[in-house]
Chains A and B, each alone.
Chain A
Amino acid sequence: MTNTYYEFFCPVKVIAGKAALEHIPYELNGLAAKRPMIVTDKGVRAAGLLEPVITACEESGLDIVSIYDDVPPDSSTTVVRDIAAIYRKEKCDSIIAIGGGSAIDTGKAVNILVSEGGDDIAKYTGAGVLKRALKPFFVVPTTAGTGSEVTSIAVITDEKKGVKLPFTSSYLLPNAAIIDPRMTLTLPPHITAATAMDAMTHAIESFTCIAKNPLSDAYATAAIKKVSQSLLQVMDNPKDSDGRLELAQASTMAGIAFSNSMVGLVHSLGHATGAICHLPHGLCMSLYLPYVLEYNLETIREPLGELLLYLEGPEVYAATPGSRRAEASISALRKLRDALYKRCQLPRTLKETGKITEGQLDQIADMAMDDGSIMFNPKEVTLKDARAVLQRAWA
């Protein structure tokens, strides 16, 4: 399954640790940025997560010129245009995105507009449109799952046309990602669980899908080990900052892995379910992961068997015969999902979510067949296959 040709790219400086936020002023100074703007959402501000960033900047004599805290969960072209207008009015010179996937994607899109000019972000949609570096851009993730801080893509909704606009360019990558456990300490249990399972899925799909490569494999296995060892500890003790840091790093590592080797059917089904039933992305990943691995089993038996070492540790790996390791890896993931269900009722089947009807499964299967990530799934998925996986995930 190893590709004879591959490319791997991640120029993002990762600043991780319990005092990482205090390094933001140094990084801004290094790029001659003196008038930063913060892009975030109301939840992040209400949780008091901006305070350590603002304090760190003030202590270094750097003023945050503007704070936009009204990024919606599904960011739009209008929001991006409004923020760009504030950025220009306040004569800002850099952006700090603080939040989950939506705030980070919005920060990326705003950076396109304020660097390239104009008010119409739709002009820059697609791959390879941007030809030069953008303004200084920093990302502080407040969830541990999306990996958006190290991916070169942003998705923004065009409200008028009712479509999602993808933007892909290596210039969208931030100058630095700041991973500080203080930013995820207050994350509610069900979001901690769902986002960690998102990171786990990024890592597992990157390790088992057809564009895998040795470098992404290294990041993926390290991420799986960290999530397996720390997730339940953090669920039992949410204030465990060491565990929180492990999950945040796992998310970033999984992000680096999948942005260089892509993902597969779990994401195709998850994207479709999110679009039709408006379920959170991380939850969809957790729902579909074991069922898709079972579907792909005979094609990915070898790499999936290897993952048992990172999921369950060396003792279990050594005690399990080689021919049973792939099945044991799936069992380990099921066990983890059961433990999460026990702790925060994270649904394990579509029926348990209570937000999907069985009649919607055909529509989800149809939409999943057109999702880009299905091309990287190790098995050629037919509509009948997708429908069968959904049926298994139903109840």
Chain B
Amino acid sequence: MLVDGDVSYAVRMTRVLNRLESFILPKIIAKRAVKEYPANLHLPEKLISAAQIYLKVATHFVQTARA
């Protein structure tokens, strides 16, 4: 990973990306992708969050394709 700019923002962004991966990837894969899979992330919250994220990605994809 290369950082161009303020390192402290990159640290926060990495934390956000780790959280995102924990939400959208199956636990078995996410555990390999992030340093530590969040112990307090249970299935209902994970499924709801993942569904919201995938829905937003799909919506943006459709909007972009139409534009």
Contact = CB atoms under 8 A, between A and B. Distances in A.
Interface of A: 126-128, 166, 210, 369-372, 374-375, 378-380
The contact size tier of chain B is 10 to 19
Interface string B37-51: 000000000000000
A375 B35 CA distance: 9
Given A370-B12, A372-B8, A380-B35, 12 more contacts: A128-B2, A370-B7, A370-B8, A370-B11, A372-B7, A372-B10, A374-B11, A375-B14, A378-B35, A380-B18, A380-B34, A380-B36
A375 B8 CA distance: 11
Contacts of A371: 8, 11
A126 B36 contact: no
25 contacts: A126-B4, A127-B2, A127-B3, A127-B4, A128-B2, A166-B7, A210-B35, A369-B11, A370-B8, A370-B11, A370-B12, A371-B11, A372-B7, A372-B8, A372-B10, A372-B11, A374-B11, A375-B11, A375-B14, A378-B35, A379-B35, A379-B36, A380-B18, A380-B34, A380-B36
Q: What are the 10 A-B residue pairs with the smallest beta carbon separation, nearest first?
A: A370-B8, A380-B36, A372-B7, A380-B35, A370-B11, A375-B11, A375-B14, A372-B11, A374-B11, A379-B36
A131 to B, nearest CB: 15
A372 B4 CA distance: 13
A1 to B, nearest CB: 12
A51 B2 CA distance: 43
B11 to A, nearest CB: 5
B23 to A, nearest CB: 15
A292 to B, nearest CB: 16
Nearest to B3: A127
Contacts of A128: 2
B21 to A, nearest CB: 12
A168 to B, nearest CB: 10
Contacts of B14: 375
A374 B34 CA distance: 14
A357 B35 CA distance: 33
A262 to B, nearest CB: 12
A375 B11 CA distance: 7
A290 B30 CA distance: 31
Nearest to A374: B11
A352 to B, nearest CB: 29
A128 B18 CA distance: 26
**Considering residues A126, A371, A375, which has the most beta carbons from chain B within 10 angstroms of its beta carbon?**
A375
A290 B55 CA distance: 46
A380 B14 CA distance: 11
A369 B34 CA distance: 17
Nearest to B37: A380
B18 to A, nearest CB: 7
B17 to A, nearest CB: 11
Contacts of B35: 210, 378-380
A292 B4 CA distance: 29
A219 B5 CA distance: 31
Nearest to B10: A372
Nearest to B12: A370
A139 B2 CA distance: 28
A258 to B, nearest CB: 17
Contacts of A369: 11
Contacts of B12: 370
A210 B34 CA distance: 12
Nearest to A376: B35
A126 B2 CA distance: 11
Contacts of B7: 166, 370, 372
